[in-house]
Structure 1
Amino acid sequence: MSLRDIERVSLTRLNEYYGDALRLVKLIFEQAFVAELSGRNRRVQSLLIDMESTFERVVYRAVKTVVDTEYYDVRNDSIGYLTRSESEEGLLSMYPDFWIRNRTEDVVLVGDAKWKTGTDPSRNDFYQIAAYQAKHGTPGVLVYPDVDGAMRDTYTYATGSGTDAGRGKLRSIEIETGDGASYDQFVQTVEAAIRNNLPESLVKAEALL
């Protein structure tokens, strides 16, 4: 078997679950080294480590650290159901990676962290955060790993009547995930990125100094 044989394999809906295995085999044939775990090369990272869940946890903890918890509550549990049946049974519970509510329990922001190996937000990223925002009519944030600003932007929702359908704006931000001198430095970098991209009204006063 050769690298060319691997590249000729075509995945379909029936065998797409072999995708990760094929990517790993391809890396082996390419003689990729574990050194690729460093920096921004995410091909090996995503295969050896559950980077999606890890990134989500890192972002949630950073948000919880920088938000002023005297006035706001940061959560990552369900914000409610997407739909209800005629019998009032809730269906499809929704779980943003983080959401923030004030002391009167109004949701003021929802966010989702997306570990990506490419440089384009996916259709599903937008559909998912749009559903979260619509639930409580709030602004939203999509958090991505750093790709030199390729996914950093601000969006408004377009409808036939030209309104945002009750949602606030959607921002996509990036967090530096490259090498750091220490774990503490990495944590500080992540927290700084979150702090600089959340509304100032949500952030601890001392964190703004």
Structure 2
Amino acid sequence: MSATGTSVTTVPVVELTETSSAVFPLTPAQVATLVAVPELVAVTPDRSGRWRVAGRQRVGTVRLGAGDGALELRLHPKIPVGHLLGLVGHAGGAPVWRRGLVQVAETETLVAAVADAFARLAEQALNGGVLHGYVHREEALTVVRGRVRTGAQLGRRLGMPVPLEVAFDDHTADIAENRILLGALERLRSVPSVIAGTAGLLRHLSARLVGVVPVRPGAPLPSWRATRLNERYAPALRLAELVLAGSSLQQAGTPAVRIDGFVLDLAQVFERFLTARLRELLTPYGVRCEAQQGSHRLDRGGRVRFRPDVTVHRRGRPVTVVDAKYQVMEGDPPAGHLFQVLSYCTALGLDRGHLVYAAGRASAGPYRITGSGITVTAHVLDLGLPPDRLDRETRELAERIGSTATPLCTSSTSMT
């Protein structure tokens, strides 16, 4: 554990690579800090009297705790930062490595690369001016604006001339799109390892969003939908949502641990990347992809819901499911993975499903499940490949899935 930091205040640094583990001489307060964030790492005592810290498929940089319990956690990806940035971009709907938005070779960490790419996307979004829209408000004012809320006025201020309970539509910059954008800008400004030039651009862009209340990490994101008016915002917004999601961590125990920084859940990034690419590449096959549909029921009583990572539809009917696994495939898939896809196919009345792993070697052939008539095929999409080759492999995967995405001749037993 080194003692170098990236700001004026020096804190100990714990560095890991994804799911690797290492032994560190932690103080009791630092152990308590790490135990409070089980999403990030697992902490167990070592026979040497020190502590073994293991990663949990997260990457990024985050400062945790305060006082004697303060430390900086640096979680590095196994694959090159440039490759991972490409996945993040596709997952957020903005293929940044194709646009040349960031010189990854000059960037030391994934966090710095994401911050640089987001700053440039946000700059592009705001180059056309700050977006304004109408927001419905209900307030107590000293003058009439919009319409008087008669019921509220009589119920709260009977006989009082002012203030007036009014409702009006306010044309403002404080809309969902700007709130999400500003929330991500402010979050990235506070992250360790963001280079000075990027931090300056983030600060400049934040200053342009006057009168906007930023979304705070952990708070629900306001809803927005893509329109012609906010089209230039869309790439930055999708990446902003990933940044804000990576700034919110479930904490165990009390009191809460102070957290500055952000991390990415690589399983979620892989799932979003796969969904985005399949949605794009399967369109020529006349099918439509839906991600994480929550309307499916596993039991006839409709009490148990399930959400396949990707459900492929043809003419409104599900024809296959795809489950993403951010794991290395070694030999045959675990039985639990096969059972998971089998249950999806059974409930939806499908005769085939797919497992897609992020590394390893593909199995010899499909798995025909005994007594069910269901076939599960395991594929490998190696994320460590160069972008051009990964793109080619993804297209081949989509072709294999699309060519077999045909509805059953029998009636569906879908419980949706």
- Pairwise same-fold verdict (TM > 0.5): yes
Partner of 2:378: 172
**Runs of 4+, deviation exceeding 6 Å:** none
Separation in structure 1 between the aligned mates of residue 317 and residue 75 of structure 2, nearest angstrom: 49
Sequence identity (%): 17
Distance 1:22-1:136 versus aligned 2 partners, 3 A rule: same
What secondary structure is seen at the aligned counterpart in 2 of 1:124?
A: helix
Write the letter of the residue equivalent to 1:20.
V
Residues 41, 54 of structure 2: 8 Å contact kept: no
For the 8 Å contact 1:111–1:140, the answer to whether it is kept is yes
Residue 55 of structure 1, aligned match among 270, 277, 299 = 270
* Residue 22 of structure 2 is aligned to residue 22 of structure 1: no
What's 1:135 paired with? 347
Alpha-carbon shift at residue 123 of structure 1 (Å): 3.0
CA distance in 2, matches of 1:112, 1:146: 14
Contact 2:321 2:353 in 1 (8 A): yes
Q: 1:134 to 1:187 in 2, by over 3 A?
A: same
2: CA distance between counterparts of 1:26 and 1:112? 25
The one-letter amino acid paired with 1:38 is P
- The 3-state SS of whatever aligns with 1:91 is coil
Alignment of 1:1-209 (within 5 A): 3=23, 17=38, 20-22=41-43, 25=53, 34=76, 36-38=78-80, 49-68=264-283, 71-76=286-291, 77-78=293-294, 80-85=296-301, 90-103=302-315, 105-117=316-328, 119=330, 121-138=333-350, 139-149=352-362, 151=363, 153-158=365-370, 163-164=371-372, 167-180=373-386, 182=387, 185=388, 188-189=391-392, 191-200=394-403, 202=405
Q: Which structure dedicates a bigger proportion of its chain to helix?
A: 1
Encode CA deviations 1:34-58: one digit per residue, 9 max, x unaligned. 474439xxxxx9xx53111011111
Unaligned stretches of 5+ residues in structure 2? 2-21, 27-37, 45-51, 56-73, 82-109, 111-262, 407-416
Tell me if the contact between 1:137 and 1:168 (Cα under 8 Å) persists in the aligned partners.
no
Task: Select the structure that is richer in strand.
Answer: 2
Deviation at 1:126, TM superposition (A): 1.7
Q: Which residue identity lines up with residue 110 of structure 1 in the other structure?
A: V
| Letter matched to residue 296 of structure 2 | G
Report the CA distance between 1:169 and its aligned residue.
Answer: 1.1
Distance 1:92 1:147, change over 3 A: same
**Structure 1 pair 26–144 and aligned structure 2 pair: CA distance change class (3 A):** closer
* Structure 1 contact 154–169 (Cα < 8 Å) conserved: yes
Unaligned runs of 5+ in 1: 7-16, 40-44, 204-209
Root-mean-square deviation (CA), in Å?
3.9
CA distance in 2, matches of 1:35, 1:130: 32
> In structure 2, what is the Cα distance between the partners aligned to 1:178 and 1:21?
25
Distance 1:131 1:64, change over 3 A: same
Relative contact order (C-alpha < 8 Å, sep 6+): which is higher? 1
> Alpha-carbon deviations, 1:162-203, whole Å to 9, x = none?
x32xx53110001021142x5xx3662353242242142659
